[in-house]
A and B are shown apart, each in its own frame.
Chain A
Amino acid sequence: MKAELSTSLLNPADYEVAADALSSCVHCGMCNATCPTYQLLGEENDGPRGRIYLIKQVLEGNPVTNATRKHLDRCLTCRNCETTCPAGVPYAKLLDIGRNIVEQKAERSLKEKATRKLLRTVLPYKNRFTPLLAIGRVFKPILPAQIKSKIPRNVAKGKLPITEHTRRMLVLDGCVQPALSPDINTATARVLHKLGISLITQKKAGCCGAVSQHLSAEDEALVFMKKNIDAWWPEIESGVEAIVMTASGCGAMVKDYAHLLRNDSDYAEKAKKVSELCKDISEIIVNEDLSKLSITGKEKISWHPPCTLQHGQKIKGVVERILTTCGYELLPVIDQHLCCGSAGTYSILQPEISKQLQSNKISNLQQNNPNMIVTGNIGCQTHLQEISDVPVIHWIHLLDK
């Protein structure tokens, strides 16, 4: 597609990405077919092709109002469109660039700004989010329904194994997950222990930066990224095999460090290494000898592949293979490619669309009466649990028995 981008709006690095994205788009419209918001809203402006067009206008220097921002805000960044796109348009990268400029050009209301700021100042910080969540649990009975539903029950962390294997891997503790479901990483450590791998954490590492990145606070995101790289670097130099991600949302982000820091002379090389080492937990486990776990699963499972796993990291069929190898029966789920509506902070910022996607997703997941629903990202997990009749857990628990 032809575009005449304004050089005054874009730095050279972004210019290159945007020009490449726009020229590879042939405007065929395939992306709309798998876009959750286009399906719900039936509006060109609320599908990837329309959003690309909106961004193109912005980057060509046309006037921007909050109409454009509204449509860009409605994007879940699920990246389903990238999976569908035959021309290989790097949509999410273009969207990031577009959102940043729109954020500056079309100012938000004070209320919106405050909400987004609040999310950015609480969620990424474990030591802020955890006490707030604890307070929330205490006051849950008197909180408004919309917030109440977002507060899950308290989960025990569980015991960590004591291990001294020669194979060592780092794990990202993250920010929200340790508060909401601290048992995921302990279960992961126990499973890897059985497979002969020690899982180690680096306390100084924290939020991956995705929250800030998706709320168009790129500079803030860069700070998180560099902090993590600094925290991990000594371990990387000492030869850890991988940096394991137990939340696919974080995984997609860390795998993108290489791209996001590519023009930073101090960090480009290190970021590249980090992104290479970054692996979703399923990518690790699928290559191991699963018989060591001696699991014979009996339950009927509905699997929800997070968008950040299937579209963001393009990992498909891997968790499915692990679980069926371990004897679990995976039930057919229709529209498995669609987002559940959690999408990071989306469920808070776009509650209406989020709720519709959530209820569509749950009815598809529950259609064949599963014993439980499993997924691979903390965001999807808590979001689905809100209205699910059956437990929603991280799939790693199924191997930790």
Chain B
Amino acid sequence: MTIEAATRNKLIFQLAEVLPENFLLTTKEELRPYECDGLAAYKRLPVAVALPDSIEQVQQIVKICSQLQVPVVARGAGTGLSAGALPHEGGIVLGLSRFNKIVSIDSENLTAVVQPGVRNLAISEAASPYGLYYAPDPSSQLACSIGGNVAENSGGVHSLKYGQTVHNVMQVKIVTIDGELITLGSETLDTPGYDLLALITGSEGMLGIIVEIVVKLLPKAESVKVLMASFDSIEDAGHAVAAIIADGIIPAGLELMDKAAIHAAEDFVHANYPLDVAAILLCELDGDDIQLAEQVEKVDTLLKEKKAVAVEIADSPEEQARLWAGRKAAFSAAGRISADYYCMDGTIPRKQIAYVLKRITELSEKYGLRVVNVFHAGDGNLHPLILYDAGIEGELETTEKFGGDILELCVEVGGTITGEHGVGYEKIDQMCVQFNDAELTQFFAVKRAFDADSLLNPGKAIPTLHRCAELGGMHVHNGELPHPELPRF
């Protein structure tokens, strides 16, 4: 998988010709910080890191790599949690961090033209003077880049009501592996031809390099209320989630945190979370005043009916920010209670939440590793964090096995291995569980249409049939277990 010396020399020579001095890193010392993204468990040293700041430079870089048959791994802020930006040992990292300009904000069409390296939150900050914001809000929104959001089809706390990235992007410009600049999508509500915009969203850097994005902006809600309900059992909280949805209410956000998550987050943000309960549910409602008042009343009643031991309603933006701060910091705050964590991202039907959480607890005992649960309950998008210590021999491997079990459990109950973090390198084996050969073959066909030589982020997201065959084992496919009559543990 590594590169031949002659190719390496040619590559670096040619890249240096098109890039200014500090736009190209080639020494081990400076490459090392690029060896992993937000998932530090996987590391690989790239041949070089290119840091262009113009589309022309991207085109030139890609053309050079294409001609020399050198893999290209695009990277934004490097906050991804599935090792999607894990470098290729024989390839370059194409860093888009210098594409950090908000090109324009159209307060009439409610759109913004942004470069891919712009931070997610920076868009909402820039749109704020116009009373607008960008809805998808991954927990890493302070740091993660919009280009990465498109590549992963990121969601967030507010996806339940306002959708994921795919629902909030109008147009994307990509540079293809041939160096061609192509516009996908448009400024109108639909675009002639195939919906390649939907296809590129979530394609994990494997179909093209995203160099410009037009995002949709929304008017800020007139009023917002956040309800925090405490529960003595996590199952009760799970039932409350189903009850709210069943009542025809789509909250802007509906998040669940278990005891471990509450404690970790509270330690950092001092959100005043109750520390003696099993779970809290954060429910954000928004809309115009009258509509909101109706909904708050309904949800408050529902929560209490479903055994909430306390419901706190935050009216002021400050109080709401306080409640959300803990949720948003929960992942990283886990760093306070554990050396390392492994964040899972399976999505399941809501009605399975309580069952799956119970099974995860059982698995936690089986593997002897702690789990923190903090997730988008309204979407059924779980984020169990497995706490481990990479310094302990073999613990990462145990963690991976545990994580794999959780994902296969998600598929078993009719869900998916990833809701918003992407497959990347991390979950590539579980893809064999979720998709059969025909489906994987279909993915290869799509890949060939864009990147026949498989130079864009190779080895990610879609496993080879060979890899799946080697893994073998028991496959759960579309919730249909082989031999369902057999007892399982």
Residue of A nearest to B36 (CB): A27
Binds B, one of A60-68, A117-125, A243-251: A60-68
Report the bound CA distance from A65 to B390 in whole Å. 28
The interface of chain B, by Cβ under 8 A from chain A, is 22, 25, 27, 29-30, 32-34, 36-40, 49, 51, 53, 77-79, 95, 97-98, 100, 117, 119, 121, 140, 142-144, 268-269, 329, 331-336, 339-341, 390-391
Tell me whether A65 and B29 are in contact in the complex, defined as CB-CB below 8 angstroms, given that A30-B140, A30-B142, A44-B97 are known contacts: yes
**Chain A 5-30 interface 0/1 with B at a Cβ cutoff of 8 Å (1 = within):** 00000000000000000011111111
Task: Report whether B340 and A86 are in contact in the complex, using a CB–CB cutoff of 8 Å.
Answer: no
Q: Please determine whether A86 and B33 come into contact, CB atoms closer than 8 angstroms.
A: no
- Docked-complex contact B33 and A53, CB < 8 angstroms: yes
Report 14 cross-chain contacts, Cβ distance below 8 Å, ordered by A residue. Answer: A2-B339, A23-B339, A24-B339, A29-B143, A29-B144, A30-B140, A32-B143, A42-B98, A44-B34, A45-B25, A57-B29, A67-B27, A84-B142, A87-B335
Do A50 and B339 touch (CB < 8 A)? no
Q: Determine if B143 and A33 form an interchain contact, defined as CB atoms under 8 angstroms apart.
A: yes
Smallest CB–CB gap between A52 and chain B, Å?
9
With A39-B100, A42-B117, A45-B33 as given contacts, are A30 and B335 in contact (CB-CB < 8 Å)?
no
Asked whether, in the complex, the Cβ of A26 is within 8 Å of the Cβ of B78, the reply is no
B32 touches A2 (CB 8 A): no
- Nearest-CB residue, chain B, relative to A62: B29
Query: How far apart sit A10 and B443, CA to CA, in the bound complex (Å)?
Result: 51
**Cβ-based interface call for A88 (8 A):** yes
Bound-state CA distance A30–B81 (Å) is 13
Is the beta-carbon distance between B332 and A30 smaller than 8 angstroms?
Answer: yes
B51-A43 in contact (CB<8A): yes
Q: Which of B32, B100, B121 has the most CB of A within 10 A?
A: B32
Chain B residues contacting A27 (CB-CB under 8 Å) are 36, 38-40
CB distance from B369 to the nearest CB of A (A): 16
Q: Mark A112-137, 1 if CB is under 8 A from B, else 0.
A: 00000000000000000000000000
Contacts of A68 in B (CB 8 A): 29
Chain A neighbourhood of B336, CB < 8 A: 24, 87-88
Shortest distance from the beta carbon of B213 to any chain A beta carbon, whole Å: 17
Known: A26-B334, A28-B38. A67 touches B30 (CB 8 A): yes
Contacts of B140 in A (CB 8 A): 28-30
- Contact at A28–B100, with CB atoms within 8 Å? no
Interchain CB contact under 8 A, B97 and A43: yes
- Nearest chain-B residue to A4 (Cβ)? B391
A residues less than 8 Å from B121 (CB atoms):
33
**A59 in the interface (beta carbon within 8 A):** no
Q: Taking CB as reference atom, which chain B residue is nearest A27?
A: B40
Chain B residues with CB under 8 Å of A89's CB are 335
- Which residues of chain A come closer than 8 Å to B38, judged between CB atoms? 27-29
Contact A28 B340 (CB under 8 A): no
Q: Tell me whether B98 and A2 are in contact (CB under 8 A).
A: no
In the assembled complex, which residues on chain A have CB atoms less than 8 Å from the CB atom of B77?
A: 29, 32-33
User: With A2-B40, A87-B334 given, can you name 13 additional A-B contacts, CB distance below 8 Å?
Assistant: A26-B340, A27-B39, A32-B143, A42-B95, A49-B33, A62-B29, A62-B32, A68-B29, A86-B329, A86-B332, A86-B333, A86-B335, A87-B332
